[in-house]
Amino acid sequence: MRIAIIGKGNVGKALGSGLEAAGHEVKFGHRDPQERVEDAADWGEVIVLAVPFPAVRDAAEHIGSRADGKPLIDVTNVLDSNGDMALGFSTSGAEELQKMLPKAKVIKAFNTVFAKHQGTGRIGEERLTAFVAGDGQDAKRTVMALSEDIGFEPVDCGPLSASRYLEPMGMQLIGLSYGMGLGVDIGYRLVRG
């Protein structure tokens, strides 16, 4: 598939490398006139949003109607400038993004995984879980298949409002890594008995 990745930082590059290794085409869009958000979003069949949370509204404005009808993967963690969680409980970053781009098919995914492991979906021999939430079933299936192509085990977490749980999971991962000193070679895996 043609995947537009908005944001060319740790996450954008990691997901881009994993998707390219799986045979997908990738085009980046960021605040570089040589790699415009508009051009990437126009070209992509799927759009990945991988910018810092405070930049989401600006990026969404540049994406605009180019995301209409397309899966729009929201990888952001809702960090404010102090590193605290910017919102939650009664909404989520993903649901707020859906309000900004009402015709896009917003899917929350990959925010519970450190960038270091987003290109493989694995830590050593351990396969990580890609927790995927969204309201559009076809779009969600597409994103789950892409995560599987990278190497993750996808798990359907239900509607987009489940992002209210996935976003705190991302915060907890950061807390374990940096607050509790576990480092970045950690990740979540759903175990089934």
Ligand X SMILES: NC(=O)c1ccc[n+]([C@@H]2O[C@H](COP(=O)([O-])OP(=O)(O)OC[C@H]3O[C@@H](n4cnc5c(N)ncnc54)[C@H](OP(=O)(O)O)[C@@H]3O)[C@@H](O)[C@H]2O)c1
Quick note: the x/- pattern for ligand X over 151-180, rule CB under 6 A, is -------------------x----------
| From 8, 66, 70, 140, residue interacting with ligand X (rule: CB under 6 A) | 8
Token pair for 91: 């909404």
Q: Please report which helix (H) or strand (E) contains residue 4, including its range.
A: strand 2-6
Q: How far apart are CA 193 and CA 140, in angstroms?
A: 25
Amino acid at 66: R
Nearest residue (CB) to ligand X, 129 versus 192:
129
The least CB distance from residue 158 to ligand X, in Å, is 20
Q: How far apart are CA 118 and CA 151, in angstroms?
A: 9
| From 32, 38, 80, 185, residue interacting with ligand X (rule: CB under 6 A) | 32
Token pair for 141: 């299936």
Nearest residue (CB) to ligand X, 47 versus 144:
47
- How close are the terminal C-alpha atoms of the chain, in Å? 34
When CB distances to ligand X are compared, the closest residue is 9
Stretch that binds ligand X, among 18-26, 53-61, 120-128, 149-157 (CB under 6 A): 53-61
The least CB distance from residue 193 to ligand X, in Å, is 28
**HEC per residue, 48-83:** EECCCHHHHHHHHHHHHHHHCCCEEEECCCCECCCC
Nearest residue (CB) to ligand X, 60 versus 144:
60
Residue 52 as a binder of ligand X (CB under 6 A): the answer is yes
For residue 21, the SS3 value is helix
Q: How far apart are CA 27 and CA 95, in angstroms?
A: 25
The least CB distance from residue 92 to ligand X, in Å, is 13
Residue 15 as a binder of ligand X (CB under 6 A): the answer is no
25: which residues sit within 8 A by CB, 6+ positions away?
1, 2, 3
Stretch that binds ligand X, among 1-9, 131-139, 144-152, 159-167 (CB under 6 A): 1-9
Residues that bind ligand X (CB under 6 A): 6-12, 30-32, 37, 50-53, 55, 58-59, 75-77, 79, 111, 114-115, 170
